[in-house]
Chain A
Amino acid sequence: MSRQGFSIIGKALPKIDAMAKCTGETRYADDLHFSRMVYAKLLRSPHPHALIRAIRTERALSLEGVYAVITGRDLPVRYGISPATEDEEALASEKVRFVGDPVAGVAAASETVAEKALGLIDVDYEPLRPVLSVEEALVAEGELRIHSWNRRANIQKAVSFEFGDVEQGFEQADHIFDETFFYEGNTHLPMEQYCAVAFYGPDGKLTLWSSTQTPHYLHRALSKVLGLPMSRIRVIATPVGGGFGGKSEPFSHEICVAKLSMITGRPVKITLTREECFYVHRGRHPVKMRIKTGVKSDGTLQAMHFQSFLDGGGYSSYGLATVYYTGALQTVVYKLPGYKFEGVRVFTNKPPCGPKRGHGTPQPRFAVEVHLDAIAEKLGMDPIELRLKQLVEPNTVTVNGLRITTTGLRECIERLAAKAEWKKKFRQLPYGQGIGFASSAYISGAGLPIYWNDMPHSGVQIKLDRGGGITAFCGSIDIGQGSDSILAYVVAEEFGVDPADVRVVTADTDLTPVDLGSYSSRVTVMTGNAAIQACRKLKDTLLRAAADALEIPADDLEFAEGKVRCRSFRDRAISFVECVQKAEAKFGTLGAMGSYRPPKHPANYRGSGVGPTPAYSYSASIVELRCDADSAEVKVDKVWIAHDCGRAFNPLLVEGQVEGSVYMALGEALMEEQVFRKSGLHKLPSMLDYKSPTALEMPEVETILVETNDPEGPFGAKEAGQGPLLPVIPAVTNALYDAIGVRIHEIPITPDKVLRALEGRLKPVSVPSFEFPPPIRWQPGEGVEVQQKS
């Protein structure tokens, strides 16, 4: 037995699929091959905004080796990840809304023939003026309206809230700070391109293998668009070669291969090119922000007014949630007595934006933490002191109705500051070198599902084999974060066996109970809790059999070391296998189900569904860097990061998530940008031109894990995959100020911006003037009483 009575939890074990991934055995979607398989390609719009007058496919169809050609007429049903904004077509039928919007699909004997066939499809476009900025989108009329379903201009959603007493907060403030910020969009860039294979068999059943983070939502969308009942569709999510949020909604290529297979009766595969991946996108929204904050002279926050303007691209995608997320979590880190949030997401003629690691949160976190750093300086305070005096407390409800269970942020900050020798270095390093700090919080799984329903968010089924084998079935999909291993660890811990004796079957809608998917950092908490419930049901059955066999009361028995044994006299035991056989003889075939649904959240206002979670993770980071005064290039020397993950199931995996988050944050902070020409073309659609950090740019990272043992988490665990990205970006910005005395209010911080800032030529970010709707007002205590678990 190791620490705190756990045998598996807390150990640095290799992942259960580690060796398969290190030997080339793992089969990703593009590694699948079937006899008679044909290959699909999609024809994409070269225009950012155009009407489709006609599409002629005859020439393509008559090409030797072409099996089928489809257009928007074949797939007229609209879909979209959010049921409130289903505005996508698998193939655009009347209008294209960004360069890369697909208009036709081909299945052919080879990719080469399919490519050739695309060139034989004639599309008659009537180009329209494109809308490429938030400012234009907010006032668009006539032909500049990108969609017709939304009420006004190119506004997808505008929201406004007022929590607590904002007016009074500002009145009582000694100082008011008002600043603007801009966070450029960037993309996920997973190493694996999008890929899907479909087969519609002679039994009238469709199987789709796809590199997807959300097989269940894909299952629903396929059924809706193809007109097939879900019972005739099987979605198998293949191991995902990098997701980061980019593979978490139904995509055109997935629906098109399914349709092409239904037409041809053959397996159909599609693998998108890297260039196509840049256009499919669904990545980080470009966001302009304005923050006005009222503070007391001692640094206490009185009120904040936060505005966000999101450039959403051509379709809604997850945008409804994103706009709320840019406002929801400001209250979870520091106490805010009054908070006003206004946000708007617009359509533009660019690839649609969606969720990327941290979904809607990195942008405001960047702005708020840089803003606070500036406030601390103006008040003559240490920026860490300013934060420490107003951290959100455990077991409280925030001003916007979010329920806090545990928080380890104070411990994170104190240990971090000691490790990095903050007091010795802050404002003490020579010119050109600097140190910066920021902190953050993130959700461990969204409190609500994407489509409204009362069913569980995660289900786990466990089957016991009479040879002692344990199989766990769950709809969750491993995208590299290790969710398959986590499931095996939980089951092994519960039954007192080796994780190697647990087989997991995941992400197959025919075989596994629904799990909503690998997004919102939800899997460990939700599948973990579901798995524990299933295990404990089964253990009750096993214990009854063992109690009879050993003639010891069940509550004096435990599962450990491959046995069921007496707690007091450990040699009085039967093996796990024997116990299973006795139980099967007594009760019949052994299996159990467990499921999990997050607790109700306290707030009850419209829009309160985005932000709640079973538990928030907390992170803090200190970055040390240098900036060359001539080239203005920034080199990060070291990143310290402390993360409250509740409980580290496997410290290796948690560290891996933290280090990966730091890496992705540094890429966003310093180089990555998804930017477009006036023609709507991507400026940098290749892995060479879209700069991301290599092993040479990645600094050493020192990770501190803080464990708070959250009552909502399985064995106390919270999330680790997204939260640690958040504090790093503002910490870089704050460190740069410490180094050279300029505050850059724009991400990424590229050398040209640093030079302009040094020369005093970097203009402040302008935010659009826009009249938001009247606010929804809500006061703490108005909602539902939710009991805290102990």
Chain B
Amino acid sequence: MEIASETAKTLLEVLREDLGLTGTKHGCELGECGTCAVLMDGKPVLSCLVLGVEAEGADVATIEGMMQGGQPHPLQRAFADLGAAQCGYCIPGILLVAKALLDSNPHPGRDEIREMLSGNLCRCTGYTKILDAVEMAAKGRGDL
């Protein structure tokens, strides 16, 4: 996809304002909370700290692209089934960071999941059901 945008705009602003992809949220716009995380070439980045122009030529994955062929990603299914999304505002960022983890390490331990998600703040869940959901998706079964 090609888009013309002001050079001073962050990737977050390009996604939300120029492309209308409002699934990516923001909590501070200073790189402190992890809410605006997206994947750039498979790696998590804070879209509020990346300029749109820096994403030129990169593969940018947002929450809108996480469903494939109309089917939710196993992480999305696990988060929904376990009640890991309360207000849900931090969830797009967390899902993408969790996806990056599982893509590189399909069977992480709970501490590895904690470590990977430690840059994403969530005020509702106490992280418990989020960690459970990532574990469940990693196990690939729905009976956890």
Footprint of B on A, CB under 8 Å? Answer: 14-15, 17-28, 30-31, 33, 188-193, 239-244, 273-274, 479-482, 650, 652-653, 655-656, 659-664, 686-688, 692, 694-696, 698, 700-701
Contacts and interface: CB of A to CB of B under 8 A. Distances in A.
A191 B33 contact: yes
Interface of B: 16, 20-30, 32-33, 35, 62-64, 66-67, 72, 76, 79-83, 85-92, 95, 113-115, 117-131
Nearest to A690: B32
B121 A687 contact: yes
B91 A695 contact: no
Given A18-B83, A652-B82, A653-B83, A23 B63 contact: yes
Majority DSSP secondary structure for residues of A touching B: loop
**Interface centre among B26, B72, B127, B128, by most A CB within 10 Å?**
B128
Given A23-B23, A192-B27, A241-B87, A663 B80 contact: no
A17 B124 CA distance: 16
Contact of B91 (A22, A27, A240): A22
B25 A191 contact: yes
A30 B16 CA distance: 10
A242 B80 contact: no
A695 B130 contact: yes
A481 B86 contact: yes
B123 A190 contact: yes
15 contacts: A14-B81, A24-B21, A24-B64, A28-B89, A191-B90, A191-B121, A273-B29, A480-B88, A652-B129, A655-B83, A656-B129, A663-B127, A687-B30, A694-B117, A695-B113
Given A686-B30, A695-B127, A656 B121 contact: no
Given A19-B72, A656-B86, A694-B121, A24 B126 contact: no
Contacts of A193: 26-27
A498 B79 CA distance: 21
Given A23-B72, A696-B114, A663 B95 contact: no
A24 B80 contact: no
Majority DSSP secondary structure for residues of B touching A: loop
B35 A695 contact: no
A614 B23 CA distance: 39
B130 to A, nearest CB: 7
A242 B86 CA distance: 8
Nearest to A701: B128
Contact of B76 (A22, A479, A656, A692): A22
Contact of A23 (B67, B122, B127): B67
Contacts of B22: 24, 27, 30-31, 33
B25 A28 contact: yes
**Interface centre among A188, A659, A663, by most B CB within 10 Å?**
A659
B83 A698 contact: no
Given A18-B83, A656-B83, A694-B121, A688 B89 contact: no
Contacts of B35: 191
A91 B81 CA distance: 45
A728 B125 CA distance: 16
B123 A694 contact: no
A-B pairs with lowest CB-CB distance, top 9: A24-B23, A663-B126, A480-B87, A21-B88, A241-B89, A24-B63, A18-B80, A480-B86, A31-B22
Contacts of B33: 191, 274, 687
A239 B89 CA distance: 9
A242 B118 contact: no
A691 B60 CA distance: 31
B80 A22 contact: yes
Given A19-B80, A22-B80, A659 B128 contact: yes
Nearest to A189: B123
A296 B86 CA distance: 46
A479 B124 CA distance: 10
A660 B86 contact: yes
Contacts of B128: 659, 663, 698, 700-701
B123 A242 contact: yes
Given A191-B35, A193-B26, 9 more contacts: A31-B16, A242-B87, A274-B32, A479-B87, A659-B125, A663-B125, A663-B127, A686-B28, A687-B27
Contacts of B20: 33
A473 B114 CA distance: 40
A19 B76 contact: yes
Contacts of B85: 15, 18, 21-22, 480
Nearest to B63: A24
Contacts of B80: 14-15, 18-19, 21-22
B30 to A, nearest CB: 7
Nearest to B115: A696
Contacts of B24: 24
B62 A24 contact: yes
**Interface centre among A22, A26, A189, by most B CB within 10 Å?**
A22
Contacts of B83: 14-15, 18, 482, 650, 652-653, 655-656
A656 B114 contact: no
**Interface centre among A17, A661, A687, by most B CB within 10 Å?**
A687
Nearest to A15: B83
A190 B87 contact: yes
Given A192-B89, A479-B87, A242 B28 contact: no
A652 B144 CA distance: 13
B126 A242 contact: no
Nearest to A32: B22
Contact of B32 (A192, A482, A688, A696): A688
B64 to A, nearest CB: 5
Contacts of A19: 72, 76, 80
Contacts of A481: 86
Contacts of A686: 28, 30, 32
Nearest to A657: B86
A664 B118 contact: no
B83 to A, nearest CB: 4
Contacts of B67: 23
A27 B126 CA distance: 23
B130 A482 contact: no
A656 B62 CA distance: 26
B122 to A, nearest CB: 7
Contacts of A17: 88
Contact of A696 (B26, B82, B118, B123): B118
**Interface centre among B20, B85, B131, by most A CB within 10 Å?**
B85
A655 B133 CA distance: 14
A23 B124 contact: no
Given A24-B64, A239-B87, A687-B28, A660 B126 contact: yes
A240 B22 CA distance: 15
A192 B118 contact: no
